[in-house]
Amino acid sequence: MRTQVPQYLQEVLQACERNDEGALADYIPELGNVDPNPLAVAVCMGDGTVYGAGDADVEFTIQSMSKPFVYALALHERGLEATLQQVGVEPSGDAFNDLSLREDGRPQNPMINAGAMAVHAMIGGPQAPLRERTDMIVDGLSRFAGRQLSVDEEVYASEFATAFRNRAIANLLRNVGIIEQDPRDIVGEYTRQCATTVTTNDLATMAVTLAMGGRNPVTGEQVVPAWVCRYVLSVMMTCGMYDAAGDWMTTVGIPAKSGVSGGILGALPGQAGLAAFSPKVDSHGHSVRGVRVFEHLSRDLNLHLMEVQEARVRLLESSREVKLRDGLARHLRLRGALYFGSVERLLRELADIPDEDTVVVDLSDVTHINPIGRRMLLDAMEQLGGTGERRLVLV
């Protein structure tokens, strides 16, 4: 049996693909030349299961979506105190390329370009050779993605040749002593960081690694410690969507980061990593269709972080045989809350059970079922009940 998630993701894309608003981010000349049409979505569950739909194979540059991960690497490598000395954690409400610094000279937060360049410059310490620092960063991004990523040299060269505004920001950072290196070099290597290429599957995997406390569920590697993720997710929630952060918080409610290449990633603590991609962006630099995709996911799957949920606890407590009047049945005992993340796992568990078996799904220890959990469970009952020999009994 296939779980319902892939089909649902297709439906979301169908609902969003008619939207033709926005424009390519042609302030980076190479991005002005890309095909504006691709549309993709990916979801990576907490156990590493990845669902993708649409143009999942299209590679694009990570741009500002690299920022939370490089911030995570800096927090891990340099520690909290040293990192906070270089960059704040206050939402600026300004655009990503804002030219101002706080009164104490620090950039407002690591999600705007000023903060991201300051964070880039910290990796490996101020003396690290430039390219080595970028290699360390690309290597770190790769560990979040679970595969070796590489840099698109054409996008890099095209952005660097026209990065006059970022150079102004880096000059300011050098002037106040936040960076010690040559500002032009830092802009160059930060631009290279932004030109690392990814797919939506990569982004969803990177996001779920943050969502699961720093452990990449696909590779099993603990990339950064859990405390780092708490910091990074908080900063994503308050600052990740720049001057649209309030709108995003109220309508979508998922810690997220966008990039001007048209990607958006979201990390839902303890549940899933989400990613959407379509190149046309709005005036904030967020993918127009990508925002729509996230609005759908949040609403349909009850993913808004401020949604009141009962404690999310263990799903499958025991699996033993029980006697029914007409034979033996498997006994699946559910404990805790049924919501998107836990029912999705239950459906996969059910899919692994041979078709001819009878299954008793025991809900007596379920404390809470949210609307999407209920619907997924009832749909599964209907689908499974109608096929083959298998019987599902809810008790």
278 is catalytic: no
Distances (CA, A) of 326 to 245, 276, 329, 389, 393: 58, 48, 9, 14, 13
Provide the 10 A C-beta neighbour count for residue 69.
27
Let me know: does 28 contact 155? Beta carbons within 8 Å: yes
Provide the 10 A C-beta neighbour count for residue 17.
15
Name the active-site residue from 8, 190, 231, 339. 190
| In the complex, least distance from residue 381 CB atom to ligand GLU, rounded to whole angstroms | 44
Cα–Cα distance, 113 to 109 (Å, whole number): 9
Name the active-site residue from 242, 258, 291, 342. 242
If binding is defined by CB under 6 A, does position 166 make contact with ligand GLU?
yes
Contacts of 344 (CB under 8 A, 6+ apart): 3, 5, 45, 376
If binding is defined by CB under 6 A, does position 158 make contact with ligand GLU?
no
Cα–Cα distance, 43 to 51 (Å, whole number): 5
291 is catalytic: no
Number of residues that bind ligand GLU (CB under 6 A): 11
Strand extents, DSSP E, the chain: 40-45, 50-54, 60-61, 197-198, 256-258, 263-268, 272-277, 316-324, 327-338, 358-369, 391-394
Q: Would you say 172 or 315 has its CB closer to ligand GLU?
A: 172
If binding is defined by CB under 6 A, does position 113 make contact with ligand GLU?
yes
190 is catalytic: yes
260 is catalytic: yes
Q: What end-to-end distance do the CA atoms of the chain give, in Å?
A: 22
Contact pattern for ligand GLU over residues 9 through 48, marking x by CB under 6 A: ----------------------------------------
| In the complex, least distance from residue 190 CB atom to ligand GLU, rounded to whole angstroms | 7
Q: Would you say 166 or 200 has its CB closer to ligand GLU?
A: 166
Q: Would you say 193 or 298 has its CB closer to ligand GLU?
A: 193
Q: Would you say 64 or 200 has its CB closer to ligand GLU?
A: 64
The burial class, CB within 10 Å (0-12 / 13-18 / 19+), for 177 is exposed
194, 206, 264, 288: which one binds ligand GLU (CB under 6 A)? 194
Let me know: does 120 contact 179? Beta carbons within 8 Å: no
If binding is defined by CB under 6 A, does position 63 make contact with ligand GLU?
yes
| Type of residue numbered 270 | G
Strand extents, DSSP E, 55-115: 60-61
Name the active-site residue from 43, 50, 67, 87. 67
Q: Would you say 54 or 115 has its CB closer to ligand GLU?
A: 115
| In the complex, least distance from residue 164 CB atom to ligand GLU, rounded to whole angstroms | 11
Q: Is the dihedral of CA 50, 54, 59, 64 positive or negative?
A: negative
Contacts of 308 (CB under 8 A, 6+ apart): none
Name the active-site residue from 34, 41, 51, 64. 64
If binding is defined by CB under 6 A, does position 199 make contact with ligand GLU?
no
| In the complex, least distance from residue 96 CB atom to ligand GLU, rounded to whole angstroms | 4
Name the active-site residue from 119, 260, 293, 361. 260
If binding is defined by CB under 6 A, does position 92 make contact with ligand GLU?
no
Assign residue 138 a region: left if phi > 0, alpha if psi is -120 to 50, beta otherwise?
A: alpha
If binding is defined by CB under 6 A, does position 64 make contact with ligand GLU?
yes
The burial class, CB within 10 Å (0-12 / 13-18 / 19+), for 84 is middle
If binding is defined by CB under 6 A, does position 97 make contact with ligand GLU?
yes
Footprint (CB under 6 A) of ligand GLU, residues 339-358: none
Residues recognised as catalytic: 64, 67, 190, 242, 260
Binding interface with ligand GLU (CB under 6 A): 63-64, 96-97, 113, 159, 166, 194, 259-260, 285
